[in-house]
Amino acid sequence: MTKIIKTEKVQAWYGTEKALNGISLDINKNKVTAIIGPSGCGKSTFIRCLNRMHEVIPGAKVTGKVLVNDVDIYSAQVDPVDIRRKIGMVFQKPNPFPTMSIFNNVASGLKLNGITDKKFVAESVEKSLKMAALWDEVKTRLHHSGMSLSGGQQQRLCIARALAVEPDILLMDEPASALDPISTLRIEELLQELKKEYTIVIVTHNMQQAARISDYTAFLLNGDLIEYDLTESMFTKPNDKRTEDYITGRFG
């Protein structure tokens, strides 16, 4: 199994408040890894440390190592903008650019990277929308506002936008929590397709969702990594009583 991300003793702070207490784990290529745990346990902070988004928050700090394909992404020689292109992020609430069309939402990252070839951009937009299972629904209205789409469609538009710049890894912070059950199912089905091409790390508060979609699961509690294992193993025979209590709904 190829390890694409390795974290070593990752600690994170918001000012003087410590959010992560030294997280060390390996994430496998072309798999879905779920990060679970109660609110405030450090899930979102952890995935933001994986593409250097945590550091953009005023007063935030990270120590430890995050190796992506054996490159330390916190090295002084590494450009954080390049890291965020290679490691895309999809947020909890769909956030299409409100003043842009569906087409320009998807093309925005390409244009920011200086790509001006109109044919290439158009082909990339179509490919990304197809990969996000949205093309058939929007191909006749690409120049309508991204805000004209339903919530589930907007989230798939944001996934297409992240895919357009051809990342290696996709981070998803509770991408279906604001969606209806049908849209949630579409996103879950989409993830199973996308993992053929990408490595996916998803934060979820939904235990059933983690069990359905992930290959591996990490359980965080109060900034500590309590357990990390194959999802099937963790959900059927957890090694730690706290994991069992959380999965079975005794707390959280």
Task: Say if 145 falls within a structural domain.
Answer: yes
Give the separation between CA 208 and CA 203, rounded to whole angstroms.
13
Which of 224, 187, 226 is closest to 204 using CA atoms? 187
Tokens of 3: 């390890």
At 30 the pLDDT is 96
pLDDT per residue as tens digits for the range 51-103: 999 999 999 999 999 999 999 999 999 999 999 989 999 999 999 999 999 99
249 — pLDDT class (breaks 50, 70, 90): confident
Mean pLDDT of the residues in the chain: 95
Residue 245 has pLDDT above 80, yes or no: yes
27 neighbors 232 (Cβ within 8 angstroms):
no
pLDDT above 90 as % of the chain: 89
- Global pTM? 0.94
Helical packing angle, 151-164 and 181-194, nearest 10° = 20
Q: Residue 185: give the domain boundaries.
A: 3-247
pLDDT per residue as tens digits for the range 188-230: 999 999 999 999 999 999 999 999 999 999 999 999 999 999 9
1 — pLDDT class (breaks 50, 70, 90): confident
Helical packing angle, 102-112 and 118-131, nearest 10° = 120
Q: Give the total number of structural domains in the chain.
A: 1
At 252 the pLDDT is 67
Residue 178 has pLDDT above 90, yes or no: no
pLDDT per residue as tens digits for the range 99-123: 999 999 999 989 888 888 999 999 9
Task: Say if 252 falls within a structural domain.
Answer: no
Task: Say if 49 falls within a structural domain.
Answer: yes
Give the separation between CA 151 and CA 158, rounded to whole angstroms.
11
CATH number, domain with residue 130: 3.40.50.300
